[in-house]
Amino acid sequence: MRNLIYCLLILMMSSPLIGQEMDVKLKYEDGMVFLRWTPANSVAWEDANRTGYIVEKYENGVLVGTTDQAILPAPWSEKDSDFKVTMDVPATVIYSLIHIDLVDPEFIEESYPKSEYSEDRMREDRFTALKFYMNYDFHFIDIAGLGFLDKEVKPNTDYRYVVKHVGRDASDKRYSSSISFNSNSYALGELPKLDAEWTNRRSVLTWNSKNVKEDYWGFRMTITEDDGPEILQDSTPIVNIYDDSDDEEMHIIEKEILLKDNDIEYTFKVYAFDYFGGITEQYEQIKGKGRVGIGMSPTITESAQLKTNEVRLRWKLLDKFSKHVDKWHIYKSETYEGPYELDSTILDPAVRMAVRPIPYPTTYFLIAVEDDQGTELESFPQMVINLDTIPPAIPINLVGDIDSAGIVSLSWSQNDERDFLGYKVFFANDTTDTWGLPHKGHLKEATYSDTINIRTIQEEIFFKITAVDRRNNRSPFSKILTLKRPDVLAPVEPNFTSAYSLPGKVDLRWDRSISEDVVKQSLYRREMREKGWKEIKTWTESIDAYFVDSLLIPNRKYVYLLRVTDDAGLMSEPSEPITGMALVDHSDFPINNFTVTSLSNKKTEISYNFPTDEIFEVWIYKKTEGAETRILRKLEPPKNSFTDQNIKEEESYSYFIQIVFNDGVKSEYSTTKTPSRL
């Protein structure tokens, strides 16, 4: 059941959850009346599964019968003996949708996982699935307790059937509905008109399901090749799930069929499924063949102006398309953009030349070919003008501005030529880039207004104008007008890259703002425990990317940030803060107060004489001629000397030291000393 229900997921999503009225449908067949009703919503449906419905029958306005007992769904006990299957849907699915409380809990969890389905949603989905599956067979309607069969129907008699939800207010349209019927006036609903577009080994069939949805819920299509057998195109019904859409286009069903051969005649038939499990005997059909058609537009090869003020037009079309030509049309217009009006029609498909008058100072002609199915393909327009080749004067005195809302206003001096047609305004964000035309047609007046995007890093926009006469002669462009956009974008903030701790200082480095209009850069500082910021440095001309802050207290943490301001006074967001700390300045420490004394040919003593309260370690380095310098010993105060006993008489030695202070700072190296004799 899970797979059958899931195949309707998209139908469920498109169905309204709560209806407003009970709906009753009727079908008359073989002297019997079939009734089917749909509850107003899933809550009413579940309630009626317990109380049932009664049907009242009125004949010529008089009540002649009422169902003896309430109509209820078939009991669960009948499920195992009901083997009916319609369109791959077994009757047991209907029982399971109705008697969900009797279905195996594991099967329910598989079909409706509690993690995805609330009780309300599960009821709505069951109700939607049931309504859809009841379309397949009247037996399913009977199982659901939502149908009635009247076998005693007289001809030419007015009947009215009233369906009532037992135990509910019959005046409420959610719980009661009726339908009238007379066998003499009963007729099946018409099928939708079938259209087809035939192209090369392809046919696209379309029909509108909107006007027939009250009578039919789905369709079946068959195909016949020449005089062959009628073959079912699709084993599943064709259903339009968008029939409730307000968009008219969504009611069009489209089926694309790939054809084997263009020489075969194909017949497509469309039947319809009613809401009682039946399929119509009548059908809509359409016949046709695939066709190559005209695969490209004609091309005008000549537009020669004659002394008679006429034009000789020649055109061509590929030979392989000629057999599909029905007629030719010649269109004309005063402008390239149109509108174009019909000049003449040539009925002879073999014609490829015509002489036509030139009705306007500048006339645009195009040739259209109409194929044997009424489809037209047009050539590109071809301009024909008189011998006048003098363009209008160059537009002058072009001025303009852009306001804070991005509205551009341009004006210039008006041209006064007798054959003047209008202006074309061009713009570009870069004079080396392509120029765009932001308007249609020609501007009659020497003004232009438009709205542009001002939230961009492009500061300038450029305009130029050309004047056009009625023969499409165009003047050279005017001088380029450069306008500056109002600056509404704040500059991009700088970005710190490092903060190096130095004795008594912090060395700050950063990447400058990438904005080109920055005129000011400000550096701010505060101690870690403080809240307020102090501006410690401002750049207004040369914008640096480094600064050494020397007015600091050692071993305290400081926080820094940067902001920049552009030439419109807009300030950037603050940069990401960075922290730094100045080290203690030990530059005045008497590091050279040490001695190197030769005690013998094999012993040298290194000793120091300076205060040790700041010292963590004293590192002694030994430099041997012809060898690498290395650390000889690390002394921890109070030890203040070391004797080097690794002495060779033939080698020369020297020594220097480095201090590691308690705060972790290393001193500079001392001077280098050689051993002195006692």
Confidence class for position 129, pLDDT limits 50, 70, 90? very high
Asked if 355 contacts 327 with a C-beta cutoff of 8 angstroms, the reply is no
Helix (H) or strand (E) holding 655: strand 653-661
Residue 448: both structure tokens together: 């232009």
Percentages helix, strand, coil for the chain, rounded to the nearest 5?
A: 10, 40, 45
Alpha helix positions (H), 563-626:
none
Average pLDDT over residues 87-100: 94
**pLDDT the model gives residue 6:** 39
**pLDDT the model gives residue 2:** 39
Strands of 503-556 (E only): list them. Answer: 505-511, 518-527, 534-539, 546-549
The structural domains of the chain, ordered by start, are 2-181 (no CATH), 195-288 (2.60.40.10), 299-385 (2.60.40.10), 399-483 (2.60.40.10), 495-581 (2.60.40.10), 594-677 (2.60.40.10)
The DSSP 8-state label assigned to residue 441 in this structure reads: S
Average pLDDT over residues 199-225: 93
Torsion, CA 93, CA 97, CA 101, CA 105, rounded to 10: 60
Query: Phi/psi class of residue 114: alpha, beta or left (left: φ > 0; alpha: ψ in -120 to 50)?
Result: alpha
pLDDT at 677 over 70: no
Taking the C-alpha atoms of residue 92 and residue 317, their distance in angstroms, rounded to an integer, is 64
Q: Are strands 362-371 and 578-581 parallel, antiparallel or unpaired?
A: unpaired
Confidence class for position 4, pLDDT limits 50, 70, 90? very low
**pLDDT the model gives residue 16:** 41
**pLDDT the model gives residue 460:** 86
pLDDT at 46 over 90: yes
Average pLDDT over residues 233-257: 89
Asked if 284 contacts 194 with a C-beta cutoff of 8 angstroms, the reply is yes
Residue 171: both structure tokens together: 């005046």
**pLDDT the model gives residue 668:** 86
The pLDDT mean for the chain works out to 90
Number of Cβ atoms within 10 Å of the Cβ of 611: 10
Q: Report percent pLDDT > 90 for the chain.
A: 66
pLDDT at 650 over 50: yes
Torsion, CA 488, CA 490, CA 491, CA 494, rounded to 10: -170
Rg (the chain; Cα; Å): 47
Average pLDDT over residues 352-370: 92
Asked if 143 contacts 74 with a C-beta cutoff of 8 angstroms, the reply is yes
**pLDDT the model gives residue 387:** 62
Taking the C-alpha atoms of residue 85 and residue 140, their distance in angstroms, rounded to an integer, is 10
Taking the C-alpha atoms of residue 556 and residue 305, their distance in angstroms, rounded to an integer, is 91
DSSP string, 628-650: --EEEEEE-TT--EEEE----TT
Short-list 163, 218, 213, 215, CA closest to 186: 215
Residue 227: both structure tokens together: 């005089």
